[in-house]
Amino acid sequence: MSLNVLIVGAGVCGPAFAMLLQRSNPKHKITILERSPTLRMGGQQIDLKNQAPHILRQMGLLDVIKSRCVDETGLEMVDSNDKTIARFGVAPAGQRRLTLTSEHEIMRGDMVQVLYDASIKQNQDSKANSEDPDAGLRYVFGQTIVALDQRENDDVDVTFSNGETKRYDLVVGADGQWSHTRSLAFGKETSRTAFKSLGIHAAYFSLPKTENEATLAKGHLAPGRRMVFTRTSGRPVTGALLFTMQNSAKLSSCYRESTEKQKEAFAEAFRDIDWQAERFISGLKSSSDFYAHELGQIKMEELSSGRVVLLGDSGYCPSPFTGLGTNLCLVGSYILAGELARHGSSNISEALHSYGDKMRPFIDECQSISPRTLGLFFPSSRLGIWVMHSLAWAISSLSQRFWQRQEDLTDHHAERLPKYPELNLPFQSQF
């Protein structure tokens, strides 16, 4: 039997899950709801590692993803005079190394576009072979949900921002770290306390690219527990990333204000850094894509409430510092679709329970980071920075020799994923 499913959020998780679910049963009726009037194409580079490349390969999307990857050749740590302290290369997708750059790095907007285009094409192909005009996938932009009413027969009545109410067999919250779906389904207090701060405040924006800026990312530690990065990645602009574990109270309060106020708060926090300060502050003030937030993790005891289930950052955001958010998103999409396909429409509750159980080891591993550990990377004094520079130099020197001898390391990430032949994926035999 087919399901009538509402997915809230058209980022990475929503389209990926929709494609996997539709492959398992083309008769499903799937709606992806996005509050923005169009696809949200902004965002920074995202890493595709651990299980993510294996899932994308099964879906037949890895090659097109590779063709859209950015050209970043590694990370260079520099001092205030732009002198190289340490250099780290590119980490293969199946290995975790101390570097900023993974084998598959793609701009978030490009990833969203690839998944959207692929989902549209898959849906067209599916509908061409279907006799049910109501089956298939559709996107609805410029709307959001305002209420969820879980009925006794397990259906969910959803009230939309345009005043309409519709009934679904399942609602999937794929609407990010600040998920409105999570708040409606689990309550505001549970949703609020699920956010566990890492004590880091971050800002992202684009800078004009300098004439000789290389494809290497650059990182710098500044006194006062601050860290900054530039990433050119072969693009016409340079991405700037600012992180700090200082001025927490002031920065925390700025997120409730306008973008201009947020810019002012971060400009003040980074005005006196000892590397490219003028460039960062000038670029910050004039940027049109500035975004800032407090870094944290989403930790939920349960991933579902009745017929509402959380997917990706809405249920288990690991924080950008782990580089594993997209991996968890794709693993979650794969396992949720697989469990629904395996249990069928008559056992949705059991499928959701199994999804939560099977996701827990992946979540715990990807969220194994703490503010205390992160604090080591944010020294407050010049002496602390000297110690970190010395450590970075030693690690980079040793790691080059070590990894040269480890070229035959086997990637075991795929073996940890459950097998779901029910998903009918085009390249499952390669898994």
CA triplet 123, 125, 129: central angle to 5 degrees? 110
Residue 376 backbone dihedrals phi, psi, to 5 degrees:
-65, -25
β partners of residue 145: 160
SS3 at position 268: helix
Other CB atoms closer than 10 Å to residue 348's CB: what's the count? Answer: 20
Q: Is 149 left (phi over 0), alpha (psi -120 to 50) or beta?
A: beta
Q: How confident is the model at residue 93 (pLDDT cuts 50, 70, 90)?
A: low
CA triplet 204, 206, 210: central angle to 5 degrees? 135
Residue 406: what pLDDT? 45
Of the ranges 44-58, 149-163, 271-285, 383-397, the best mean pLDDT one: 271-285
Is residue 411 scored above 70 in pLDDT?
Answer: no
Mean pLDDT for all residues in the chain: 90
Q: Which range has the worst mean pLDDT, 17-31, 68-82, 99-113, 223-237? A: 99-113
Mean pLDDT across 325-337:
96
Select from 1.10.540.10, 1.10.287.110, 3.50.50.60, 3.20.20.70 the CATH code of 4-71+103-194+297-369+411-423: 3.50.50.60
SS3 at position 339: helix
Residue 356: what pLDDT? 97
Query: What single-letter DSSP state applies at residue 405?
Result: T
Residue 298 backbone dihedrals phi, psi, to 5 degrees:
-100, 120
- For every residue of 92-160, DSSP letters joined together read PTT---SSS-BSSEEEHHHHHHHHHHHHHHHHHHHHHT-S-TT-EEEEEES--EEEEEE-TTS-EEEEE
Mean pLDDT across 268-293:
95
Higher pLDDT, 336 or 321: 336
pTM of the model: 0.92
Contacts of 163 (CB under 8 A, 6+ apart): none
pLDDT per position as a tens digit, 194-248: 999 999 999 999 999 888 887 888 999 999 999 999 998 778 899 999 999 987 7
Residue 429: what pLDDT? 56
pLDDT per position as a tens digit, 388-407: 999 888 888 776 554 444 44
Q: Residue 409 is which amino acid?
A: L
pLDDT per position as a tens digit, 121-170: 999 998 887 777 789 999 999 999 999 999 776 799 999 999 999 999 99
Write down the domain spans for the chain.
Answer: 4-71+103-194+297-369+411-423
